[in-house]
């Protein structure tokens, strides 16, 4: 049996990093080599993530200097970045530069927004600050794994969690020419999607038993949805996106609606979706309306649809931390290294989260 591939996690103290660490702990081909947190170097990983203590009892966060040394010595490695937007690109650029000087070849999947756009200008127009490594952008592709059969770059920028769910629901409609390019999206996300540091919108007493929209028609994920949909379908679509904050911790539910170009009923739309995702191991198309609990903590996406001859609605549920972030990143890294795409990701949802 070949040796496991050393895995490195950047931005190691947030929710997405914690989910990456959980997935790596059970992965048959990756083995954690280091987790970096410049704010907590030397601190115990189990202190930041008590639920991972059984897997990482003696692991401590490493500094950037320690990480550079590790990547310079490892002939190959899998680097997962969960660092914040605006920070990730600079860090990745530095690590890749050090590795290139040493003749090593890490592969990177970035879960931040820093490599989701095809140009620095496109990124800067959304995030309102300069891109940290514009010279690296051409080395990254950005797509959900189901929509890019062959990867032409060494690294990947994973789309956001809302983008993942919306793209899984909308790309078949656009690619198959079932709808015009005017798409309406309503999405609901759990509180973990807002990060680990509590703010008014994520503080439990405020969010519990409540539901409210935010950034209606102006959410920053909308431009990346448009870009990824264009890359997957060749269609320049207009996504009218209204996100909502839900009273639960994990999961995303989106409803995508559009007019139909020609009359279709529900069974024909479901058949089209099943055919489109026939070779996508993590996408299930069901007749029943999908529920967040069916996928929470898993890398699976459940879709369903309804059509009345004039309008189609496609519903999609994913776990925001897994399929929408860490799990999708591992799925990409599996493909980058020629491993089975499903390796380490087939655990089903518990169902009673």
Catalytic residues: 161
pLDDT in the model for residue 12: 82
CA atoms of 294 and 311, how far apart (whole Å): 26
pLDDT in the model for residue 1: 46
Tell me the CA distances in angstroms from 322 to 20, 158, 193, 285, 341, one per residue in order. Answer: 8, 12, 11, 19, 15
Domain boundaries of the chain, sorted by first residue: 5-141, 161-320
CA atoms of 313 and 195, how far apart (whole Å): 30
Enumerate residues 6+ apart whose C-beta is below 8 A from 100.
none
pLDDT in the model for residue 312: 98
Give the pLDDT confidence of 42-89 residue by residue, as tens digits. 899 999 999 999 999 999 999 999 999 999 999 999 999 999 999 999
What's the farthest any 2 CA atoms get from each other in the chain? 62
**For the domain bounded by 5-141, which CATH number is listed?**
3.40.50.720
Q: What is the pTM of this model?
A: 0.97
CA atoms of 88 and 127, how far apart (whole Å): 13
Enumerate residues 6+ apart whose C-beta is below 8 A from 273.
172, 285, 303, 305, 314
Question: At residue 304, what are phi and psi to the nearest 5 degrees?
Answer: -145, 175
Give the pLDDT confidence of 211-261 residue by residue, as tens digits. 999 999 999 999 999 999 999 999 999 999 999 999 999 999 999 999 999
Which residue ranges of the chain lie beneath pLDDT 70? 1
CA atoms of 13 and 82, how far apart (whole Å): 9
pLDDT in the model for residue 334: 98
Question: At residue 98, what are phi and psi to the nearest 5 degrees?
Answer: -60, -45
**For the domain bounded by 161-320, which CATH number is listed?**
3.30.360.10
CA atoms of 31 and 122, how far apart (whole Å): 35
Place of tokens 């300069």: 130
């Amino acid at each position: 049996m070949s040796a496991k591939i050393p895995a490195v996690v950047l931005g190691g103290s947030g929710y997405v990093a914690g989910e990456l660490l959980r997935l790596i702990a059970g992965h048959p081909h990756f083995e954690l080599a280091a987790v970096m947190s410049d704010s907590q170097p030397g601190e115990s990983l189990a202190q930041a993530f008590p639920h991972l203590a059984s897997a990482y009892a003696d692991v401590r966060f490493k500094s950037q200097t320690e990480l550079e040394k590790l990547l310079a010595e490892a002939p190959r490695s899998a680097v997962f970045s969960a660092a914040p937007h605006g920070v990730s690109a600079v860090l990745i650029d530095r690590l890749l530069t050090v590795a290139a000087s040493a003749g090593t070849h890490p592969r990177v999947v970035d879960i931040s927004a820093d490599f989701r756009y095809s140009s620095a200008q496109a990124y800067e127009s959304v995030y309102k600050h300069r891109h940290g490594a514009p010279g690296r952008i051409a080395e990254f592709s950005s797509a959900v794994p189901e929509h890019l059969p062959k990867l032409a770059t060494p690294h990947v920028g994973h789309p956001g969690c809302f983008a993942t769910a919306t793209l899984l629901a909308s790309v078949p409609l656009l690619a198959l020419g079932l709808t015009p390019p005017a798409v309406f999206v309503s999405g609901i996300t759990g509180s973990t999607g807002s990060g680990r540091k509590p703010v008014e919108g994520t503080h439990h007493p405020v969010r519990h038993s409540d539901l409210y929209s935010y950034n209606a028609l102006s959410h920053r994920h909308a431009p990346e949805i448009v870009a990824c949909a264009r890359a997957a379908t060749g269609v320049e679509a207009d996504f009218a996106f209204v996100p909502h904050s839900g009273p639960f911790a994990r999961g995303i539910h989106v409803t995508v609606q559009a007019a139909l170009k020609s009359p279709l009923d529900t069974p024909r739309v479901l058949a089209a979706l099943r055919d489109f995702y026939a070779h996508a191991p993590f996408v299930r198309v069901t007749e029943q309306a999908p529920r967040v609990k069916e996928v929470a903590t898993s890398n699976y996406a459940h879709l369903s649809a309804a059509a009345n001859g004039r309008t189609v609605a496609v519903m999609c549920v994913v776990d925001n931390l897994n399929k929408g972030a860490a799990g999708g990143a591992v799925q990409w890294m599996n493909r980058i290294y020629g491993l089975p795409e499903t390796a380490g990701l087939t655990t089903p949802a518990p169902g009673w989260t």
